[in-house]
A = this chain, B = another copy of it.
Amino acid sequence: MKGEADKLREIREGFVAQWGVMGTQWGINRTMAQIHALLMTGADAMSTDEVMEELAISRGNAHTNLKDLVNWGLVRIVTKKGERKEYFEAEKDVWEIFRRIVEQRKRRELDPALQTVEGCAEETKGMKTKEGKAFHQQMVQLEEFVRFASKMSDRVGSLPHGKAMQLAMKLFG
């Protein structure tokens, strides 16, 4: 008969693998998503070596992706007293995870888009031809939208979990 611990390990491995696959579809690399899943579902913080072992990946790969996760604010470094090694621990609160992701994506995707679109809108401001006006108009629309999205991201980031849910539910029924 199979113990509960074995069954859990199996299910967890399945989750980690699946999360990895989904990561690739999200435009995140597989390893990073897998490490995240692993840390998110584990009781204790893990060392680089433990992560390497568990996922059968190289040190370089483990290291880079752990550090990337730290940069995303999804994982933090902890140290155990008397030990020299770094351990990694994931943020587990789902709303907090969401906030961090929104924040980063805003920074990486929205902000650069805004710059581009702003520039194009500015440079076509006074155009007189039909094409020029249409292009300018399109850029203005886009700019407005990106600004809006940007603002929304900021707001989401500043709402605490419960409040957000409440408001959103009121808004959308």
Q: Which residues of A contact B (CB under 8 A)?
A: 4-5, 7-8, 11-12, 14-15, 18-19, 22, 25-27, 40-41, 43, 92, 94-95, 98, 108-109, 112-113, 116-117, 120, 123-124, 127-132, 134-135, 138-139, 141-142, 144-145, 148, 151-152, 155, 165, 167-168, 171-173
Contacts of A43 in B (CB 8 A): 130-131, 134
Task: Write the nearest CB–CB distance from A97 to chain B, whole angstroms.
Answer: 8
**Residue of A112, A116, A117, A130 with most partner-chain B CB within 10 A:** A116
Of B11, B127, B151, B172, the residue contacting A152 (CB under 8 A) is B172
B168:A123 contact, CB within 8 angstroms: no
Contacts of A117 in B (CB 8 A): 15
B142:A109 contact, CB within 8 angstroms: no
Interface SS of chain A? helix
* Copies of this subunit: 2
Task: Write the nearest CB–CB distance from A120 to chain B, whole angstroms.
Answer: 5
Task: Write the nearest CB–CB distance from A133 to chain B, whole angstroms.
Answer: 10
Task: Write the nearest CB–CB distance from A105 to chain B, whole angstroms.
Answer: 9
A22:B167 contact, CB within 8 angstroms: no
Given A22-B113, A123-B11, A172-B151, A129:B95 Cβ within 8 A: no
Measured in the bound complex, the distance between the Cα atoms of B43 and A168 in whole Å is 38
A4:B128 contact, CB within 8 angstroms: yes
